[in-house]
Amino acid sequence: MALLTMLAAVTVGVVRMRNLFGVVVLVGAYSFLMASVLVVLDAPDVAMTEAAVGAGVSTVILLATLHLTKSMEYPHPRKAYLPLFVAAVTGAVLIWGTYSLPPFGTADAPIHQHVAPKYLSDSIKETMVPNVVTSVLADYRGFDTLGETTVVFTAGIGVLLLLKGRRRQRREGGGGPAE
């Protein structure tokens, strides 16, 4: 509960702050808090990813982006009431939707009834890998993980093309008149 309160406080800080450097630092703090929440929820694999990616690499990349742009956000010219209304309604609908979910952490929720028992009972016998998360990720759901890796690959290629391609174009443009 304390963690969730701190999450909410950090979120308000992110929204209110105009200095984008501070926003990046707060987003990093948000990721670390989120990682702590995930540890509390017994999901160390996800927590590790969140701490390393959310708080580590993306903070560095956001700071690198800030280095290329200005670090102050322009104040909004007018109050945005319609987006606030849309956000409030969406939030209310989502909270209303949680009431038809099974209570948090119950063993007979549908998600624990489908294939999870089979993974838990058979995965060590079938794959000799004690960490069920790893065997589900890499073996039972191998196609998904291949897709994920391809997504990382595609995203990386896209960013590299954007960042390096334009520089080459500029160099060609600069070399044009001399020829």
Partner 1 sequence: MKLDLILRVGTKVLLPLLLLFALYVQFHGELGPGGGFQAGVIMTGAVILYAIIFGLNAAKRIAPQRLVEAMVPLGVLIFAGTGLAAMLLGGNFLDYSVLAADPPHGRELGIILVEAGVLVTVSGTMTAIFYAFSERGR
Rounded Cα gap, residues 179 and 172, in angstroms: 10
Q: What is the CA radius of gyration of the chain?
A: 23
Using the rule CB under 8 A, is 173 a contact of partner 1?
Answer: no
Using the rule CB under 8 A, is 138 a contact of partner 1?
Answer: yes
Do 102 and 109 meet the contact criterion of CB atoms below 8 Å apart? yes
Instruction: Give the nearest distance from C-beta 138 to partner 1 in angstroms.
Output: 4
Using the rule CB under 8 A, is 169 a contact of partner 1?
Answer: no
Rounded Cα gap, residues 168 and 22, in angstroms: 33
Rounded Cα gap, residues 148 and 142, in angstroms: 10
Using the rule CB under 8 A, is 60 a contact of partner 1?
Answer: yes
Q: Which residues bind partner 1 (CB under 8 A)?
A: 44-45, 47-49, 52-53, 56-57, 60-61, 64-65, 67-68, 125-131, 133-135, 137-139, 142-143, 145-146, 148-150, 152-153, 155-157, 159-160, 163-164, 167
